[in-house]
Amino acid sequence: MSFAEPRFALHEQPVDDETTVVTVRGEIHVSTAPEFSRLLAGSIAEGRTRLVLDLTDVEFIDSTGLSVLLNTLRRVTRAGGAMAIVATNPTVLRLFEITKLDSTFAIHAELRAALDQVQAAAGGSDDGMP
C-alpha cells in the first residue's frame, strides 16, 4: 500500500520590508508542518514580523499544524510584530473554535482586513493581538 503525497503548497509574497503574506494550500499536518515552520521562521529571521497567513485554501490542520501556528505567533509577538490569519473554510474555522484558539488568533475572512490589522498593530496600536 502506498500513500499519495500530501496536497500542500506554500507561497510567500512580501508586502514591504516587515510585512509578508504566506498563502497555504492543502493540508497542514505532521508531514507538511516542518516545511511550513521553516518558511515562517525564515521570514521572521529576515525581519518580516508582520505576518498574514492566508489559510483560505487549507482543508485540514492537525495538532502539529496548530503548534506551528502557536509557535509562530509567540515568535512574532516577542519580536514586536503581529500576526493575522485569513480563513473561510468552515472545517478550519470550527477547529479554531473547538480548540478555543479563535480567541488567541486574529482571524479574518478577507486578506485586506488581515493586512490592515497587522500593519496597525505593529505600528504601535494594540488592536492587533488579542
Tell me the domains of the chain and their CATH numbers. Answer: 8-120 (3.30.750.24)
Which residues on adjacent β-strands are paired with residue 99? Answer: none
* Pair 36, 66: CB distance under 8 Å: no
The mean per-residue pLDDT over the stretch 71-91 comes to 97
pLDDT of res. 7 = 86
Collapse the DSSP code of 39 into the 3-class scheme (helix H, G, I; strand E, B; otherwise coil) and give the result. helix
Q: What's the pLDDT tens digit per position in 26-51?
A: 999 999 999 999 999 999 999 999 99
pLDDT of res. 130 = 34
* Pair 33, 68: CB distance under 8 Å: yes
pLDDT of res. 3 = 57
Collapse the DSSP code of 46 into the 3-class scheme (helix H, G, I; strand E, B; otherwise coil) and give the result. coil
pLDDT at 129 over 50: no
pLDDT band at 126 (very low <50, low <70, confident <90, very high): very low
